[in-house]
Amino acid sequence: MQQLEALTREARALAGGMPTTAAETEVARQMQICNACRYCEGFCAVFPAMTRRLDFNKADVHYLANLCHNCSACLYACQYAPPHEFAVNVPQALAVVRGQTYSDYAWPPALGALYKRNGLTVALATAGALALFLVMMLAWANGSLFHAPLAGNFYAVFPHNTLVAMFGVVFAFAIVALSVGVATFWRAQNPVPAAPVEARASPSTGSGRTGMGGAAAEATSDALTLKYLDGGHGQGCNETGDAFTLARRRFHHLTFYGFMLCFAATCVATLYHYLLGLHAPYPFLSLPVLLGTAGGIGLLLGPAGLLWLNLRRNPQEVDVQQRPMDRGFIALLLLTSLTGLALLAWRDSGAMALLLAVHLGFVMGLFLTLPYGKFAHGFYRSAALLKYAIEKRQPNRLALGAD
Ligand code: SF4
Ligand code: SF4
């Protein structure tokens, strides 16, 4: 029996692959040091997951990189951080590999590599080109960009079926690309069947939720509450020094729930259209407009705050090479919400068609680039949290960590 377990472990290590890039090898080196130290074990999920391993293969390194929230608590706590000769900087080392995983698992791979190299340019160029295309179509079809007020009737500019066809294609592409990426990531993490998930609660959280269902519920809750952005002590992340702040968690929440409210507004409007036969434009106090307005405000405040934090973040805590990619995503979110709110404010004016074309261009640009940057991290991170919740419910053969 013991021999079988040893063989299974060996197969798992081989299937996971040895670290191949310099960044992966650096994470494996630092994890060996952390595994001997373990001072940061209570900070986040990365360190308890680390204590279940003695070696770190490629899949392990990718898993830990996507478990990390880059809160930087472990950098400021570390006695081996630079200028110590061990040069342990876990947030930065994991950030480099995390950025690499966005393109490693991206589908199609060429788009992932392109976005990684020039995220800001690709995001803005895609959205700008689509907006320009729609504006030119408008000018060509109507002979002018301006018109008599249309009482906010978008379908007088772009017919309903044209909008459904355009967004159906873009939305389907984003869903397929994200699904393929996450499925590839999950397969790399689980190359051989995992040990059974025990019908027991998580020992480290004391959660009463058991088995696979409990693991899924715990991972969902941890992802939705951004649990590990509290630094492990509830006071938040480090941004520019050793002071804690919950600002990043708050701005992330505004962004995420703003996005979800906008998505909910679209779903409700679709139900109104097809189920109830109620066609847009909807009044300002109708459910789709209220949801869209609240979501737009969240998507304005959240990304603005994240951009402000990004601009002043201590470069030692991050991978500075990824800044164009991060800022490209934040810029598109900001421009999407700004143009959406402008469209709502001036929907009964002669500039509505122009505002609509620009807004639609930015929305399509956002969805086309979603699978390649920070947004994809939300999905890889959720998959990593699910793996972590499952692992905690499996026997720990090493029994060296807190769980
Ligand atoms: S980051 Fe530093 S203090 Fe924390 S576990 Fe690793 S070596 Fe120890
Ligand atoms: S940066 Fe934060 S989330 Fe990442 S390993 Fe360190 S303590 Fe954990």
pLDDT in tens, 200-258: 555 544 455 567 888 999 999 998 888 888 777 788 888 888 889 999 999 999 999 99
Measured in Å, residue 165 CA sits from the centre of ligand 2 at 43
d(CA 194, CA 52): 14
Q: What pLDDT is recorded for position 248?
A: 92
d(CA 58, CA 101): 11
- Structural domain boundaries, residue 239: 109-179+225-379
Output the average pLDDT for the chain: 87
Which residues have CB under 6 Å of ligand 1?
33-34, 37-40, 74, 77-80, 88, 90
Q: Is residue 342 part of a domain?
A: yes
238: three-class secondary structure by DSSP: strand
CATH assignment at residue 160:
1.20.950
Q: Is residue 355 part of a domain?
A: yes
> Which residues, in sequence order, are bridge partners of residue 244?
238
d(CA 332, CA 338): 10
Ligand nearest to the CA of 232: 2
Which residues have CB under 6 Å of ligand 2?
40, 43-44, 46, 68-74, 90-91, 94, 228
Q: Is residue 152 part of a domain?
A: yes
Q: What is the pLDDT of residues 9-64, one digit of tens each?
A: 455 555 556 667 999 999 999 999 999 999 999 899 999 999 999 899 999 999 99
In sequence order, the 6+-apart residues with CB closer than 8 A to the CB of 107 are 176, 177, 180, 181, 184, 371
**Tokens in use for 287?**
């459910």
Q: Is residue 87 part of a domain?
A: no
Residue position matching structure tokens 């990365």: 46
Q: Give the position, in ligand 1's atom list, of the atom nearest the Cα of 38.
A: 5
Ligand nearest to the CA of 66: 2
Q: Is residue 207 part of a domain?
A: no
Residue position matching structure tokens 């929907």: 347
d(CA 353, CA 359): 10
For residue 182, which of 94, 95, 98, 107 has the smallest C-alpha distance? 107
d(CA 259, CA 292): 9
Ligand nearest to the CA of 67: 2
> Any idea how long the chain is?
403
Q: Is residue 57 part of a domain?
A: no
d(CA 252, CA 202): 27
Measured in Å, residue 94 CA sits from the centre of ligand 1 at 13
Measured in Å, residue 74 CA sits from the centre of ligand 1 at 6
Q: What pLDDT is recorded for position 3?
A: 56
354 versus 394: the higher-pLDDT residue is 354
pTM value is 0.85
Measured in Å, residue 50 CA sits from the centre of ligand 1 at 12
Nearest CA to ligand 1 atom 7: 34
Q: Is residue 41 part of a domain?
A: no
Nearest CA to ligand 1 atom 3: 78
Q: Give the position, in ligand 2's atom list, of the atom nearest the Cα of 317.
A: 1
Measured in Å, residue 312 CA sits from the centre of ligand 2 at 19
Ligand nearest to the CA of 42: 2
Q: What pLDDT is recorded for position 308?
A: 95
Burial (0-12, 13-18, 19+ Cβ within 10 Å), 152: buried
Measured in Å, residue 93 CA sits from the centre of ligand 2 at 11
Q: Is residue 271 part of a domain?
A: yes
The pLDDT-based confidence of 402 (bands split at 50, 70, 90) is low
Pocket test for ligand 1, best of 29, 44, 88 (most atoms within 8 A of CB): 88
Nearest CA to ligand 1 atom 4: 40
Measured in whole angstroms, the distance separating CA 1 from the mean position of its chain's CA atoms is 41
- Hey, what amino acid is at 331? A
How many domains is the chain partitioned into structurally? 1
Q: What pLDDT is recorded for position 206?
A: 45
Q: What angle do CA 163, 167, 172 make, to 5 degrees?
A: 150
Q: What pLDDT is recorded for position 381?
A: 93
Q: What pLDDT is recorded for position 205?
A: 47
Nearest CA to ligand 2 atom 8: 44
